[in-house]
Chains A and B, each alone.
Chain A
Amino acid sequence: MSRRDAMDEGRINAWLDGELSPEARAELDRAAQSDPRLAARLATDRALRDALREAFDPVLHEPVPARLLRAALPRPWSWWRRGVAAAACVILGAALGWQVAHLPGTAPGAGSRPVSIEAAAAHAVYLPEVRHPVEVDASQRTHLDAWLSKRLAHPMVSPDLGAFGLRLVGGRLLPDAGRPAAQYMYESADGERITVYARVEARAAAPTALRFDEDRGFQVIHWHDEDGMAYAVTGRLDRARMEQVARAVHEQM
């Protein structure tokens, strides 16, 4: 490789990686217009770069294995630090308890957060679970639906999302501001998980259209129906696909 070639190689790479000044970039773009070989070369390099991202980007959207989550948590503390922390907790707890007891009365369960926030929080908690993603797995689907229907006092049917390549993993019962809520979990062949969250609204609300929100990096599509139920579909699929899935859930619920 001659010195001149090496320099050009460097420029092509810098072009590709966004390391060129706008002027130098424009100059190379112009050169490519009159040099088909150079243009082909730039196209090949760009295709390679895009393919590289395409090949490995799916990893970004997979649930993180539990062992890695554990490794990312702080080390256990030494015994004396634990002692100090425990003492601090006791004092803080006592102080808080006293304050709460003297607050103007708030009824338990009154302060329910929007369904999109509860759903995203529950999604974030169970998404990385490898061994216990659900309480009742899909092999007992009938029992799962019957159980959740009874606890929510509303007929629940786990939606069929097979048309989107999503398989039911199972479901669980969750507390939501002191009231029962249900979560169904689905998984695609490449491990992408979405959850369907349902609860009975504490206060009657008018039915709404499907609404799109983002919380904790998840996409949440949520709505209220005419029976006083709130639903949310949470995941990290692309937006169009999330919408299709949510519509299917909406129809089936």
Chain B
Amino acid sequence: MAQIPRLRRYAFALTGDRVRGDDLVQECLERAWSRRRLYEPSRPIRPWLFAILHNLYVNQVRRRAAEPALISGDSPGLGEVPAPEEPGPVDVEDLRRALVRLPADQREVLLLVGLEQLSYREAAGTLGIPVGTVMSRLARARERLRRLLGGPDSARLRRIK
């Protein structure tokens, strides 16, 4: 029960829509109850619930053929604004809009790590992917966000000594 606010925050960020987010949480809670025998009480409940939410979300996105976002790629989308040099304060609304434009798999990693503060290992376990994939998706997600929001472009960043 105490997890509901966090699930709602994540689902809202993931879907970009209040009602869709809450629908997802409701479905997740119902499924968690019907599968509670699969839950091991010795393990933290949060990654388990997020994993259920993730699976539901992936199925939903697959069903929605209209949503092209599931395929992730490095090619920049149309209409992205060239980045200005000065990093300014980030507008929250801009960020929400930019987030919706990320491929779903990148968005999930970014939110689990950046918002929910799961470790790379927990995020990997939740999504059922290797830790290396978490890291590469995270890098792509942030690079794309920077481009969408106009921070300094990573492609032009010098190497670290």
Instruction: Mark A residues whose CB is within 8 Å of B.
Output: 1, 4-6, 8-14, 17, 19, 28, 31, 34-35, 37-38, 40-41, 43-45, 47-57, 59-62, 64-65, 67-69, 71-72, 74-75
Known: A60-B8, A71-B29. 8 other contacts (CB 8 A): A14-B135, A19-B119, A38-B160, A44-B152, A51-B90, A57-B9, A69-B4, A74-B33
- Whether the pair B160, A8 counts as a contact (CB closer than 8 A) is yes
Instruction: Tell me the complex Cα distance, A136–B159, Å.
Output: 65
Instruction: Tell me the complex Cα distance, A14–B142, Å.
Output: 12
- Whether the pair B22, A13 counts as a contact (CB closer than 8 A) is no
- Whether the pair B139, A10 counts as a contact (CB closer than 8 A) is yes
Instruction: Mark B residues whose CB is within 8 Å of A.
Output: 1, 4-6, 8-9, 12-13, 22, 25-26, 29-30, 33-34, 87, 89-92, 95-96, 99, 110-111, 113-115, 119-120, 135-136, 138-139, 142-143, 145-146, 149, 151-152, 154-155, 157-161
Residue of A nearest to B135 (CB): A10
Q: Which residues of A contact B33 (CB under 8 A)?
A: 71, 74-75
- Whether the pair A48, B152 counts as a contact (CB closer than 8 A) is no
- Whether the pair A69, B115 counts as a contact (CB closer than 8 A) is no
Q: Is the interface of A mostly helix, strand, loop or mixed?
A: helix
Q: Which residues of B contact A59 (CB under 8 A)?
A: 5, 8-9, 12
Rounded to whole Å, the gap between the CB of B158 and the closest CB of chain A is 6
Instruction: Tell me the complex Cα distance, A13–B137, Å.
Output: 11
- Whether the pair A55, B139 counts as a contact (CB closer than 8 A) is no
Rounded to whole Å, the gap between the CB of B28 and the closest CB of chain A is 8
Instruction: Tell me the complex Cα distance, A14–B121, Å.
Output: 12
